[in-house]
Amino acid sequence: MQWKKPEKHEGGLVKIPERWLHLYYYEALNVLFRFENALRVFVYIVLKKEFKEKWSEAAISTGGTIKSETKSRIAKAKEHAYLGYELSSPMLYLNSGELIDIIISDAYWKHFASYFKASKAIVATKLKEIGMVRNSLAHFRPIKEDDIDLIKQNTKHVLIEIETCLVQITSITTVVPTNTEYEWYKQIKPIGSENIKVSLFHSENEEWVRVCIGYVVPTLQKTKYGETFCSYKLGNFRTDQLFQKYPHLRDNCIYISEGGMWGGQHENFDIKTTKEVSIVFSKDTLTNNLEFIVEALNDVVLTVDEETDLLQQDHLARGSLVETKSASASVNNRSDGSRYWSVSLGNMSTPIVAATEVEYWGTRAHYESDFISGSNQYPWMPSTISDVEIPF
């Protein structure tokens, strides 16, 4: 057997061996991979919004529930944990057939119907046609080139409103106006301290609210080595502990994510940065459970203040929400010969595997459009699936 490899050429061009599968097989894989993962995210959002902490008790076609069926699948996957990535989200262990059955079931269709511009019968037919092509490819049966046109057309017809939903919930950047009369805004807006800055955003359709907790990262210790390198001990917000310590936040939110970490230096070489943790709620859920959510957020601020003071006195200590993390800064050279300090904060982020709850989505993404076909990393995945397309 001669397993020939592709050849990489200048300009990003790749030459595929002629004996490899026809190119339309790879196109089908790309479309179906993205379709199924977008469907996973969508089904989770709707179920979490409607059933909160009981979302995983939704029944699936095999006769069990999401929780019971995926628990055994996750356990089985761990028997071969050296293969692939360690995945903990139950949604990643549901296939498209099961997701489709949830959507069109008599029990749940009423929760999904508003996201489709067609009757249940038409939606079911188009989704099942996609599923037929998916199964052929998954079980290594031959597919026709015309099948690609079918799955692309069907996904375009069926997922129009799903795309809108996914873009709205992942692109919450509109600042809530200061004259907003909603009670949730009036009670959450004043929350904060010198260590925690709380900001409020909503989606364009105002259906989703993002509560952004900004932790002002303190420099606990710094050591300068010559004129080109500094090492640091910094205070770090423990995002994964939000799920354990505050069930009202976990159960009522749709997802929690972190902003990308970057920063600079003050004149005294202290690090200047803020760690942002975003909690996204359905506006209705936020309104109906406001008392418990406000109580939890106030306790977050109080706990962070106390534990930050503790770490500033003893950086070897660790609190329930704040811990010490290492960071560094080094001098780099620009092309014009000038020099600048580059700060490395990669150690401050919470990896997917560290927070096993389905509510943790990792680093916050932002898609103004094209979530389904353009995402380079879906929620719950510890790695990218593609490069980021750079427009020219």
Confidence tier at 352 by pLDDT (50, 70, 90): confident
Please say if the pLDDT value at position 368 is more than 80. Answer: no
pLDDT for the residue numbered 374: 87
- C-alpha to C-alpha distances, 316 to 32, 306, 309, 311, 352, nearest whole angstrom: 48, 15, 13, 7, 25
Structure confidence by residue, pLDDT tens digits, 87-124: 889 999 999 999 999 999 999 999 999 999 999 999 99
pLDDT for the residue numbered 1: 84
Residues 6 or more apart whose Cβ sits within 8 Å of residue 54: none
pTM confidence score: 0.93
Q: Whose structure tokens read 């004149």?
A: 267
Please say if the pLDDT value at position 260 is more than 90. Answer: no
- Taking residue 21's Cβ as centre, other Cβ atoms within 10 Å add up to 11
Is residue 31 within 8 Å of residue 152, measured between CB atoms? yes
Confidence tier at 186 by pLDDT (50, 70, 90): very high
Q: Is 177 left (phi over 0), alpha (psi -120 to 50) or beta?
A: beta
At 161, phi and psi to the nearest 5?
-75, -30
Structure confidence by residue, pLDDT tens digits, 10-67: 888 889 898 899 999 999 999 999 999 999 999 999 999 999 999 999 999 878 999 9
Share of the chain above pLDDT 70, in %: 98
The closest of 328, 356, 324, 354 to 341, measured between CA atoms, is: 328
Of residues 341 and 229, the one with the higher pLDDT is: 229
Rounded Cα distance, 311 and 315, in Å? 5
Confidence tier at 369 by pLDDT (50, 70, 90): confident
- Tell me the two tokens of residue 89: 């989200």
Please say if the pLDDT value at position 392 is more than 60. Answer: no
Please say if the pLDDT value at position 176 is more than 90. Answer: yes
User: Average pLDDT, stretch 211-232?
Assistant: 94
- Tell me the two tokens of residue 372: 């389904």
The closest of 97, 104, 98 to 119, measured between CA atoms, is: 104
End-to-end CA distance of the chain: give it in Å, rounded. Answer: 42
pLDDT for the residue numbered 354: 77
pLDDT for the residue numbered 390: 58
For the chain, domain boundaries: 17-171, 175-365
pLDDT for the residue numbered 387: 82
Averaged confidence pLDDT in the chain? 92
User: Average pLDDT, stretch 264-280?
Assistant: 93
pLDDT for the residue numbered 367: 64
pLDDT for the residue numbered 80: 85
